Amino acid sequence: MASPVVLTNGFLHIDPAAKVLKASEYALYLEGRDIITAAERRASDIIEASRDAYEQEKQRGYDDGVAESKIDQSDHMLKVVSRTINYLSEVEKALADILLSGVKKIIGELDQEELAVNLVRNALQHVRNEKQVTIRIPPSQIKMVKSKLNEILSEYKGVGFIDLVADQRLSTGDCIMESDIGVVDASIDLQIAALKKRFEKTHSTAINNISNDESLLGGD
């Protein structure tokens, strides 16, 4: 005898042709229906979980792609900064060399007696209020400087007396001043060396600033 409880296309139902449905058969129907409902719910949960997992993997793949892209961009920027540092280093060094060469050339073309007078003026800037100072210069320039002594003193009214000394040990471009506050070497070579040192310090500071920017970029 056929069962009055029929499963058709995944649905459990009672055969309409059944005239009498026993209690045990009805209980079987209810149990079967509950099992199918639970199975459908479970299948739905599995599908939803699978969809969520797919979306998460898809997002993670996107995020990984974005992160990798950012890493590539940062790496490229760091390389650009590094090349910029090297370029600026070379350019600034070349510029400093050109400027120093230009200064030396200009000085070399100056009238040497006029240069001696200017060196004395520069030396006196360090002693605005001294009763007496001694300035040592090369013998070849003593005559010219002496002829300009009164003019120089008029510019430095705080200096009472200048004792000019022709020093055989000095050559063109040398100038040494002695006073109560100490000795000042105002020689042109020393001034050029100081100028070169200043260029190097400025260059070093600029490169360090760029390097710090590079470090900050690398830390992002």
pLDDT band with cut points at 50, 70 and 90 for residue 157? confident
pLDDT for residue 219 is more than 70 = no
Average pLDDT over residues 64-80: 60
Q: Return the axis-axis angle of helices 112-124 and 188-219, rounded to nearest 10°.
A: 60
Whether 122 has a pLDDT exceeding 70, the answer reads: yes
- Classify domain 111-198 at the CATH topology level: hypothetical protein PF0899 fold (3.30.2320)
- 45-49, 80-84, 142-146, 214-218: range with highest mean pLDDT: 142-146
**pTM of the full structure:** 0.46
Residue 14 phi, psi dihedral angles, 5° rounding: -95, 135
Identify which of 52-56, 98-102, 171-175 has the greatest average pLDDT: 171-175
Sheet containing strand 182-185, edge to edge, reads 161-166, 132-137, 176-179, 182-185
